Structure 1
Amino acid sequence: MSNAIKYEKIGDIAVLTAQNPPVNALGVDVRKGLLAGIQQAENDGAKAVLIYGDGRTYFAGADIREFGKPMLDPGLPDLCNRIEASPLIVVSSMHGTALGGGLEVALSSHYRIAVPSAKMGLPEVHLGILPGAGGTQRLPRVAGTEAALDMITSGRPIKAGEALEKGIIDRVTEGEPREIGLAYAQELLDAGAARRAVGDMPAPEAIDFDVRYETLLKKGRGQLSPATAMRAVQAACEADSFEAGIKRERELFMELMNSDQRLGMVHAFFSERAVSKLPELKGVAPRALADIGVIGGGTMGAGIATAALLSGLSVTMLEMTDEAATAAKDRIAGNLQGAVKRGKISADQFEALTNQSLTLATDYTSLANADLVVEAVFEEMSVKKIVFTQLDEVCKPGAVLATNTSYLDVNEIAACTKRPEDVIGLHFFSPAHVMKLLEVVVADKTSIDVVATGFALGKMLNKISVRAGVCDGFIGNRILSTYRACADHMILDGASPYQIDKALTGFGFAMGPFAVADLAGLDIGWASRKRLAPTRDARERVPSFPDKLCEDGHFGQKTGKGYYVYEAGKRGGTPNPDVPALIEANRAELAITPRDFTDAEITRRYMCAMVNEAAKVVGEGIAQRPLDVDMTLLFGYGFPRYRGGPLKWADIEGLDGILADIMAYAKEDDYFWQPAPLLQQLVAEGRTFDDLNRENS
């Protein structure tokens, strides 16, 4: 018997206790122990078997240390089939979480009981795969086709009460999992209950699977795992036998296991957990955080304040006038009302947050006791310096002074204070209470405990925090400016904004670059171009058509017109008929004869520009690891998760081919297409970006 499973016999009941802390993951020792325990129970003359988890949970899922490796015997599918085939009554008693393989083990049991707080689900689609141990065949038989499809294709976990309603479990009972499980197993024996194998149940009802398949592909922007998982559920409905359905599930599972999307999503899974764990912060205590100040109550400042309030912090919102402060409070209240509607907070909590935790102010002295102050004022250096000069005068010693700048030099901002070691960049993404990304921008003199405080705040706010160095645009916006410039170049050379947006949403982006620009506001890019114009290299290709839109007062969604025209009450926009003429005039100015682009060429150039700039960002140390770039683009810029991030995509595509394409593009424009030294080095050494991640983990 494996040490991971304890065996004991209590009367007629054999008890298999999982003892594999912290989450009783279904590693090979647990699987061996369960298999041996079932066999021993049958040999010992037991009439029932109880399976439960010691500690804080039932089986929370697979052992992540085995990801990407061949599964050692016994495999989980064989284990589940063996549990179900036992002539004894097998009961699972569930608490904590039963996810993925954990729920599949429970479904292979004959009866299931859970405590009210238990959660269960099949989240495999988030790893680019599908439940591969009978989950797609057993869940539809107990819950019905629609309920099973919802859980399997979304990966959404559900609570015990909902699982009971769906028929996934048989009973919900308060108590210790061991005690309630033993009582339930004895009750079943006393009642002479029959063994009840899910695999023996009738096949679930079929639906129009072809229509659902197309819907899932569209909803997932090309992600294969939900749609493929649906085909496995289809097999549960239509296969000649349960065994044939299991066989089809395994075929589809292996299809996804061998896909590039699975590689991308597993990379995203591990990188999301690694990105905020920096070796330099090990053992470094962050400064205390209870009260924070936010300067500027516009969309960004209100979003930051909302996120802070929802995390339990007290917030002082500073505006320049009473009217502006009241408007800021209204924005925050509107955000919090959204949380009430979604069930995140109660009406009483809403009242407490808006009337007790939030303080409005118009005087900098109100920030005297703040532990951290973040400014979200106009993106102009002179304005930022005025703010930080004032903060330097009024904030207490040790207070963290943070700028939410998107592009500006944090070193220059810090230099206008007498405490540059307390200054840091905290670049939130709008809307800040919704978007998951936080760039923690570390200036030259930023103290290490201030860095730790930035990451601590990110954790409190439930953000994915990425360390960034100082340069124009940091990680995300610097790379954005490059791939966006590539898109502009393609327009000058013959593509249209609408073809580019279509090609890139086809690749899997949430939005194309021109729709994104309209959403963010075309005036932001306009201001950046004007700011950089005095130092611009004469060889740089800079189009004039975006500036013409701005000069005419068209800034995108907020003005109703940009690259697209937006009408009240309608989702999305329609192409602006004025834009093609602006582009044609710009081409005529530059004597460019337009040519056709295929969608594939558009995507390849766009991605090569992104990868090349990302490699420069890593090579210069602005991002410490390739995975930092990948997580920045995933969580802040709509990059498709199933591709893992631009540098994971590059590894999968092949770095040598990407470098070769960049060299070919450089024959047309050797200023823009300058190969990143790091990319050249990796190709020369036959290495990948993932190799760098492993070296720096």
Structure 2
Amino acid sequence: MSSVVDVRRDGDIAVVTIDNPPVNALGHAVRSGLHAAMRELRDDASVKAVVLAGAGRTFPAGADITEFGNPLQPPGLGEVIEQIEAMPKPVIAALHGTPLGGGFELALGCHWRVAAKGTRPGLPEVKLGILPGAGGTQRLPRLIGPVEALPIIVGGEPIPAERALQLGAIDEIAEGDVIEAAIAFARRVLAEKRPIVRVSEREDKIAAARADRSAFEAAAAEATARTRGLEAPVACAKAVGFAIDLPFAEGLKREHALFLDLVKSDQSKAQRHLFFAEREAAKVADMPKDTKPRPVVRAAVIGAGTMGGGISMCFANAGIPVTIVDATEEALQRGLGTIEKNYGISVSRGRMSADDLTARMGLISGTTDMTAVADADIIIEAVFEEMEVKRDIFGRLDRIAKPSAVLATNTSYLDVNEIARATGRPGSVLGMHFFSPANVMKLLEIVRGKATEPEVLATAIDVARKLKKVPVVVGVCFGFVGNRMLRARSLESERLLLEGASPAQVDRALTDFGFPMGPFAMIDLAGLDIGWRIRKAMGPTADGGPAPIADQLCEMGRFGQKTGRGFYIYEKGARGGTPDPEVAALIERTAADMGIVRREISDEEIVERLIYPMISEGAKILDEGIAQRPGDIDIVWVNGYGFPVRLGGPMHWADTVGLAHIRDRLRHWAQFNPALQPAPLLERLADEGRGFASLRTGRDKAA
């Protein structure tokens, strides 16, 4: 029949199996194979019903997005789905794994759906900046109701099989083999002479919304409330509305038109770039292909503070037992109490059950005895950013940890190679830079030291995935990728204040650009004292460089939200700050003392002086091989620092703006601050009319 579509018989039941590893993507060969198989089975009188299944680990997990933007080779997925739905014989989908996107749309075209336990169907197209374009926004509302369909389509998250059954998106959960269960289901349908009811013809679930749209409008407003300038969620909600307002065929046309508009949009291109970049980020070009990660069944974390506690929660959430070690019983109990409190908040919000809390706390143990880490497979140090403290800890771990243990430091800035030299096994040492709060933030910078062994690196990547983090492998330098680029932005932030901008104006310019918060609000949230202590310990070149305003605020005891005052004033219980005339006066006084004449500064200038230097620093990071690919930098900044998803990360966005323009503007600002001269790689690419996307690795190689 086809190399990727197989047909076998079980009596009068035909079983059509898609076998296109790894995820049975619905590319042209699969679509053609399905189209031919269904046409043949339709005309075969000996076949009474059809079961549609997927081989391997999942029912089709989506369309082949590499085909987006290219001329469509018929048949299209929508055509295949309509062909299946029009079959005069019952078609039952046998779902397992992750039937996502086009895969779930394919299942919606079948007449019934049987799912294996653990199946998680969904329509995640919104995360690619598009919408379900093969009838998903029209069929799912007709199957389960438009209000119920909205969060699935607009949110893009898969749902458990149990929830899908409750909603009516599937008809049965199989106890054993899902294909055998689907065959048995088909035989019951035939025996009971059940009429075929096509999803596209159903009206019962949308009748209430047609009579009164208010509940749908409220649900749509809630679903799109926090889209932060993204076009796709709004388009998804609009398309679901078509299912209420229009006949199926017309709604399908409107859905397809919206889909085509989104596919061509810059936002979708940016989000698709991030999709592929995330999958590339953990790949290490020079790692031997046969490298295997070491098994990790037990972990240990040194330090029970904010970071140590959050990292420990990550392991517990993944079902991996973890031991927390702290120097004092008081600090240890405080940390364990904070962990239990955080889990308690999740229980109160319905995100986990009380039993889950008990189970996860049962995986976390605490001690003040460092020798308790002796049986851990991975040990992560999460103490203060002080080199001598870290060197001392790693020297002790070297004597205690078993030979196969991976030793990781959660440093944000410090030299991982120097930390590794405190041990007799530098090949076992690397950096695992979690972002705060560690139990929430997805990004994990994995810092490869000069001596880090491939097996150790592979283990860290494997652990990151088990913890449901997005791993990005980076090299050793001050601040690695994220904080090194952040430093370039921070250097200009205070200069802008001294030259005439206010903290509120700078923050507003960046939130208007798309960041969730501006630099000064972020510093207040994290605590001004963190950078202050680093600068005092390492000199004014550390952290964000010279910071006369921030340093003076710290000397006044203004550490940000935790003290109620920083760059802003925070009233008791308030999450947002208000401008403080005292800070404005301090800025003006400091500028006068430094001989700086303040002037009016535009929002456009603020964006150029904060974002363009970051891009230039990113070019240096690529040229030095600290990051392997431009996409790695984008993944770091989108997942760790809130760079707008709709722009695809700083390096992707730079390509859309044009490197020649960025080069010219940096040259302009360099007249006033020589540090803003564009990086050599940025200069070279701009001169050649190329973008960062033309680089295949961190080194400048021809595309």
SS in 2 for 1:618: helix
The change in CA–CA distance for 1:164 and 1:409 in structure 2 (over 3 A counts) is closer
> Is the counterpart of residue 433 in structure 1 residue 407 in structure 2?
no
Q: 1:554 aligns with which of 554, 558, 570?
A: 558
Deviation at 1:249, TM superposition (A): 0.7
| Aligned twin of 1:44 | 44
Number of corresponding residues: 691
SS in 2 for 1:158: coil
| Aligned twin of 2:179 | 178
Structure-2-length-normalised TM-score: 0.90
Q: 1:640 aligns with which of 636, 641, 644?
A: 644
| Counterpart-to-counterpart distance in 2, 1:364 and 1:188 | 64
SS in 2 for 1:119: coil
- Deviations 1:637-657, CA, capped at 9 Å, x for gaps: 112223221111112222222
SS in 2 for 1:86: coil
Deviation at 1:342, TM superposition (A): 7.0
Deviation at 1:44, TM superposition (A): 1.8
> Is the counterpart of residue 316 in structure 1 residue 320 in structure 2?
no
| Aligned twin of 2:59 | 58
Percentage of matched positions with identical amino acids: 47
SS in 1 for 2:183: helix
1:605-644 equivalences under 5 Å are 605-644=609-648
> Is the counterpart of residue 508 in structure 1 residue 509 in structure 2?
no
The change in CA–CA distance for 1:599 and 1:81 in structure 2 (over 3 A counts) is farther
Letter in 1 for 2:686: V
| Counterpart-to-counterpart distance in 2, 1:13 and 1:364 | 63
Deviation at 1:658, TM superposition (A): 1.6
| Aligned twin of 1:463 | 469
Note if contact 1:290-1:371 (Cα within 8 Å) is conserved in structure 2: yes
Deviation at 1:151, TM superposition (A): 0.7
The change in CA–CA distance for 1:353 and 1:425 in structure 2 (over 3 A counts) is same
The change in CA–CA distance for 1:262 and 1:579 in structure 2 (over 3 A counts) is same
1:75-154 equivalences under 5 Å are 75-154=76-155
Gaps in structure 1 of 5+ consecutive residues? none
SS in 2 for 1:499: helix
> Which piece of structure 1 moves more, 31-40 or 488-497?
488-497
> Is the counterpart of residue 570 in structure 1 residue 574 in structure 2?
yes
Note if contact 2:278-2:632 (Cα within 8 Å) is conserved in structure 1: no
| Aligned twin of 2:242 | 235
Letter in 2 for 1:652: T
Deviation at 1:287, TM superposition (A): 4.4
Deviation at 1:307, TM superposition (A): 2.0
| Counterpart-to-counterpart distance in 1, 2:405 and 2:11 | 64
> Which piece of structure 1 moves more, 255-264 or 392-401?
392-401
> Is the counterpart of residue 472 in structure 1 residue 466 in structure 2?
no
Q: 1:404 aligns with which of 404, 410, 433?
A: 410
SS in 2 for 1:661: helix
The change in CA–CA distance for 1:403 and 1:118 in structure 2 (over 3 A counts) is closer
- Deviations 1:44-80, CA, capped at 9 Å, x for gaps: 2355433223444322221344355333211112222
Deviation at 1:243, TM superposition (A): 1.7
- Deviations 1:87-139, CA, capped at 9 Å, x for gaps: 44433232333211111112222333334433211110011100000111111
Q: 2:279 aligns with which of 273, 276, 282?
A: 273
Deviation at 1:689, TM superposition (A): 1.7
> Is the counterpart of residue 689 in structure 1 residue 696 in structure 2?
no
Note if contact 1:633-1:645 (Cα within 8 Å) is conserved in structure 2: yes
Gaps in structure 2 of 5+ consecutive residues? none
Deviation at 1:17, TM superposition (A): 2.6
Deviation at 1:154, TM superposition (A): 0.3
Q: 1:680 aligns with which of 677, 683, 687?
A: 683
| Aligned twin of 2:496 | 490
Deviation at 1:462, TM superposition (A): 2.5
| Aligned twin of 1:162 | 163
The change in CA–CA distance for 1:216 and 1:370 in structure 2 (over 3 A counts) is closer
1:440-459 equivalences under 5 Å are 440-459=446-465
| Counterpart-to-counterpart distance in 2, 1:104 and 1:407 | 46
SS in 2 for 1:91: strand
| Aligned twin of 1:653 | 657
- Deviations 1:592-619, CA, capped at 9 Å, x for gaps: 3433344344333322122111111111
Q: 1:246 aligns with which of 239, 248, 252?
A: 252
The change in CA–CA distance for 1:681 and 1:359 in structure 2 (over 3 A counts) is same
Letter in 1 for 2:650: P
| Counterpart-to-counterpart distance in 2, 1:80 and 1:619 | 48
| Counterpart-to-counterpart distance in 2, 1:301 and 1:248 | 51
Deviation at 1:350, TM superposition (A): 4.8
Letter in 2 for 1:467: V
The change in CA–CA distance for 1:114 and 1:607 in structure 2 (over 3 A counts) is same
Letter in 1 for 2:623: G
Letter in 2 for 1:318: V
RMSD (Å), alpha carbons: 2.9
1:363-382 equivalences under 5 Å are 363-382=369-388
The change in CA–CA distance for 1:218 and 1:608 in structure 2 (over 3 A counts) is farther
| Aligned twin of 1:295 | 302
Deviation at 1:664, TM superposition (A): 1.9
Letter in 2 for 1:512: G
| Aligned twin of 1:499 | 505
| Counterpart-to-counterpart distance in 2, 1:496 and 1:211 | 38
Letter in 1 for 2:244: C
| Counterpart-to-counterpart distance in 1, 2:322 and 2:118 | 32
Note if contact 1:262-1:642 (Cα within 8 Å) is conserved in structure 2: yes
Note if contact 1:47-1:88 (Cα within 8 Å) is conserved in structure 2: yes
> Which piece of structure 1 moves more, 351-360 or 379-388?
351-360
Deviation at 1:16, TM superposition (A): 2.5
Deviation at 1:253, TM superposition (A): 0.5
- Deviations 1:406-441, CA, capped at 9 Å, x for gaps: 112223333344443333222221222222222222
Deviation at 1:353, TM superposition (A): 5.3
| Counterpart-to-counterpart distance in 1, 2:123 and 2:685 | 38
- Deviations 1:572-611, CA, capped at 9 Å, x for gaps: 3333343222222223223434333443443333221221
Deviation at 1:289, TM superposition (A): 3.5
